[in-house]
Amino acid sequence: MLTAPARGLRYSSDMGAGEPPSTTKMKKATTTTKKRKSGVEEGKGGDSPSHLIDARIKELSDWRGETLARVRMLIKQADPEVVEEVKWRKSSNSMLGVPVWSHAGIICTGETYKNVVKMTFAKGAALADPSGLFNSSLEGNTRRAIDFHEGDKIDEKALQALIRAAVALNTSVRATARPVRSRKRPKSS
């Protein structure tokens, strides 16, 4: 019986005709990624995440691009150690993906739609929001979002405080510790 090759393996093209399956030769399939001096892997076409976000902002070329650029700047000011990434690249977003900002876990994403720029905080439900910035995705148990519409003024101090709180949550012991599970004791007879 022939079985599927292990993950990352493929059948060799030099397999002899009529050889039994037990003597099938396997070769390791390899992929290469180019690393930059900073240690960040380059994406498709050699673009870094920062360049992909720049391209996304440039492509928008309207209030949404300006808002995304402003939010990005505020995130970098609030946390100079933030890591920019681009995730979920697909044809519906012109293969430019969704900007993601991380520090010991995802802080937030910056999605753009026709009428809104949405800033979604991955652990927003666990954050205090004294200024009432969260105005979207309020029903969930984990995330919260801020929808920016054309003409909205950004409360920069409150937003930066929220970003710092998200970083603090990600880096806290509470966020990284896992609950201890008690062992089941065998039933005594």
pLDDT tens sequence across 130-140: 999 999 999 98
Q: Where are the domains of the chain?
A: 44-172
pTM given for the model: 0.66
Residue 40 is predicted with a pLDDT of 39
Count how many residues are written for the chain: 189
Handedness of CA 78, 79, 84, 87 (dihedral sign): negative
Domain 44-172 of CATH type 3.90.1150.200? yes
The per-residue pLDDT for range 26-78, each reduced to its tens digit, is 443 333 333 333 333 444 455 788 888 888 888 888 999 999 999 999 999 99
Phi, psi at residue 115, to the nearest 5°?
A: -115, 10
In the chain, the amino acid numbered 144 is R
